[in-house]
Structure 1
Amino acid sequence: MSKIAIVTGSTRPGRVNTGVAEWVLAQAQLRGDAEYQLVDIADFNLPVLDEAYPAGFQNYQNDHTKVWAATMNEFDGYIFITGEYNHSVQPALANAISYLNVEFNNKAAGMVGYGSAFGVRAMEHLRGILSELQVAHVQKTGMFSLFTDFENFSTFTPTELQAASLAPMLDQLIPWTNAMKSVRESALATA
């Protein structure tokens, strides 16, 4: 069974990101089609990128990077949870992703966004980052509004309409994740 990380996108005090991630985890686990696990980037205490070598070299000098790399390498696919910040992906998520390269190669990802415009702009920026890392990102996304899917802009309480946006993304992510396993095997065989 494929192993999918649900990756938080924020480390800020009072963040709403974890509420979204926990809801996504609960919904995904009901499906029984993969092993889903929450990965909170705040647990890794990653400073602003502080590695001397480009991530593609995998010559990690810092313990926090080594732990982050080992964790992300365990997964076959990812669901990135990102709020929209300045019309882009949340800074902590962009920083965390930038630490790594090879660990993401030839894997699949889905996205869940939220914000005043459903996180759409953040997810579009995230697509560019993931493409550079050779991550096959699915077309469907989970989309939520700060105005209608959060009580008092803090407690995640998705409407039925927006909650329904998650299933199509998962329906695409699982077969893509399974297919990318053969791509990784093929890449290893030719290396």
Structure 2
Amino acid sequence: MSKLKIAVIISSTRPTRFGEIPAKWILEKANERPEIEAEIVDIRDFDLPFFDEMASNAWVPSANANAVKWQNKISEFDGYIFVTAEYNRAITGALKNAIDQAYTNWNKKVFGAVGYGSVGGARAIENLRTIGVELQMVSTRSAVHIAGADFMAVHPGFGGTKTLTDIEPAIGNSAKDMLDQLVWWGQATKAAREDEAVAQAAE
């Protein structure tokens, strides 16, 4: 089977965001895996409007050119790693809006997550998992949580001077588990989608 194409999605669009730091770190970890070809996908690059289509693209093709560009980009991938902050016990508004701009493009694919904040983005990642159910996605069991003192130590805004490599004793095993599961489910869902496409073509 060919390599799994994985998007590492940066979920915050703020100028002062921290998300680029863990995104680059998990990108490197993912690309160390022989089964994965990963790239960063930055929501900020797509200038998405607040969702204002007639309906989800499960029912009606989207009219906004930037939304269609986003959908086409998302469709390139076999799975995703969402790098997400936690805003008031949920994912960022920018990520929720980006997710809502597509539907069919997410279906029957795998995702993992890297969360950061005082509790490591744990509640945001749980929120993301419930959204994934509606999108017909498969979530990895494991996720990476950059939390507490480790978060403060690596966040420049809090005076942190350490790198994510410095705190790998705390988060490295979780990253490995998440990537192991991403590969397993990614290969399984990719094979199933390919089988389904062959069956539909034969009808």
Category of TM-score, reference length = shorter chain = over 0.9
In the alignment of these two chains, the number of paired residues is 191
Letter paired with 2:163: T
Q: 5+ residue gaps in structure 1?
A: none
Whether the 8 Å CA contact 1:147–1:153 is kept in 2: the answer is no
Q: Distance in 2 between matches of 1:116 and 1:163?
A: 18
Q: Which moved more, 1:153-162 or 1:74-83?
A: 153-162
Matches within 5 A, 1:158-173: 158=164, 159-160=167-168, 161-173=170-182
Which whole-Å deviations, capped at 9, do the CAs of 1:39-79 have from their partners, x for residues lacking one? 00100011211222223125110110110000000101111
Q: 2:35 matched to which residue of 1? A: 33
Give how far 1:122 is off.
Answer: 0.3
**Identity over aligned pairs, percent:** 38
Give how far 1:139 is off.
Answer: 0.3
Q: 1:174 matched to which residue of 2? A: 183
Letter paired with 1:46: L
Q: 1:157 matched to which residue of 2? A: 163
Larger radius of gyration: 2
Question: Normalized against structure 1, the TM-score is what?
Answer: 0.93
Letter paired with 1:169: M
Q: 1:42 matched to which residue of 2? A: 44
Q: 1:116 matched to which residue of 2? A: 118
SS at match of 1:5: strand
Which whole-Å deviations, capped at 9, do the CAs of 1:90-143 have from their partners, x for residues lacking one? 111111001110001111111111111111100000001111000111101011
Letter paired with 1:172: Q
Q: What is the RMSD computed on CA atoms of the aligned residues?
A: 1.7
SS at match of 1:78: strand
Give how far 1:164 is off.
Answer: 3.0
Instruction: Judging by fraction of residues, say which structure has more strand.
Output: 1
Q: 5+ residue gaps in structure 2?
A: none
